[in-house]
Amino acid sequence: MPPVNLATLVRVPVRPRFNARATALGLLAGVALDRVAGDPRRGHPVALFGTAAANLEARLWRDDRAAGTVYAVLLIAAAAALGLLPRRLPAPWLAAATALGTWTVLGARSLSAEADAVAAHLRRGDLAAAREQLTHLVGRRTDTLDAAEIARATVESVAENTSDAVVAPLLWGAVAGLPGLLAYRAVNTLDAMVGHHSPRYENFGWASARTDDVANYLPARLTAALTAVVAPVAGGSGRGALAVARADGRRHPSPNAGVSEAAFAGALGVRLGGRNDYGSHVEDRPVLGGDGRAPRVHDIARAARLSRAVAVAAAVACAALAAARGRRG
């Protein structure tokens, strides 16, 4: 009697493997697409997600953490599930889907464009227009800020959002492919919507805020490292970036924003932090880069240039990480 081939008797379903090459190519293509095209002007998928999240909040809101946790889990899981849909496509189509997903969740071009617009208003001496433009980047009150405070707020926002809107989605894409990209953007969007301190969201937004803290822990530190590597592109100091990130990053109330802001402060040789008026409350933030000078208008352009260089470095590093995952598999 011939030997029995167990493989013919028991067919074990094989889980689709992480397609490293398609993911790496998709990340790089998505970064290039964002650089060329920027954000969609109408029907942005993140805005559509925000509308869906607002509608679900109206149904689920309760002043407790359990309701907020259910809300966050449903929306994050839905985003991840959407990212799983193309997983069985041929590699070229999966790469294209990943590129579109990357383009959707990145904010590199729009971030530097908003910063450049603020700087342009300041150079013309139009404080009113600069204050209005700044509202596209920050949640604090801008109506009483002078030119120096506008420059500080812009550099801080560029630093924080380089981590949140550029490095973090790329890193999660490298780790988990398209599902990671979309799930991360869902996490970050929910934090912006319900994760802030307020009577309505102190409990309901707790899960969204904590999830965002966890999701951004490694990306913030990668942002600081990449900032140090590319600092010379903006006429900055890599050693300064690392030194200030180590010394001052943990002093910030956010466990992650402080690291990226401190790295930018050290790289650019400026001093960040101070009083921020959010309307409902005022925060006195600790100083980051205390040996630096106050930011000036030209530092906004330097910060935007540094952010663009970090985006390129992050794209290369994360594509390499995705490819390395495939070799290990």
Residue 95 falls within a domain, yes or no?
yes
% the chain with pLDDT above 70: 93
- Strand-pairing partners, residue 288, are 272
Return the pLDDT at 328.
Answer: 61
20-36: per-residue pLDDT in tens? 999 999 999 999 999 99
Gap between the Cα atoms of 256 and 259, Å rounded: 5
Residue 1 falls within a domain, yes or no?
no
Cβ atoms of residues 150 and 131 within 8 Å: yes
Residue 7 falls within a domain, yes or no?
no
DSSP 103-167: HHH--HHHHHHHHHHHHHHHHTT-HHHHHHHHTTT-SS--TT--HHHHHHHHHHHHHHHHIIIII
Residue 162 falls within a domain, yes or no?
yes
Judged by DSSP in three states, 256 sits in coil
Number of separate domains in the chain? 1
Residue with tokens 């822990």: 217
Quick one: average pLDDT of 263-281? 92
**Tokens at residue 308, please?**
């663009």
DSSP 232: G
Fill in the amino acid letter for 257: A
Reported pTM: 0.91
How does residue 283 score in pLDDT terms, banded at 50, 70 and 90? confident
Residue 60 falls within a domain, yes or no?
yes
Centre a 10 Å sphere on the Cβ of residue 150 and count the other Cβ atoms it contains.
Answer: 24
Angstrom CA distances, 66 to 53, 61, 70, 204, stand at 17, 10, 6, 8
Residue 65 falls within a domain, yes or no?
yes
Residue 145 falls within a domain, yes or no?
yes
Gap between the Cα atoms of 304 and 258, Å rounded: 18
Return the pLDDT at 44.
Answer: 83
Q: In sequence order, what are the residues at sequence separation of 6 or more whose Cβ sits closer than 8 angstroms to the Cβ of residue 20? A: 322, 323, 324, 325, 326, 327, 329
Widest Cα–Cα separation across the chain: 93
Residue 6 falls within a domain, yes or no?
no
Supply the range of the domain harboring residue 48: 19-35+42-328
**Tokens at residue 64, please?**
């407790």
193-240: per-residue pLDDT in tens? 999 888 999 999 999 999 999 999 999 999 999 999 999 999 999 999
- State the chain's mean pLDDT as an integer: 92
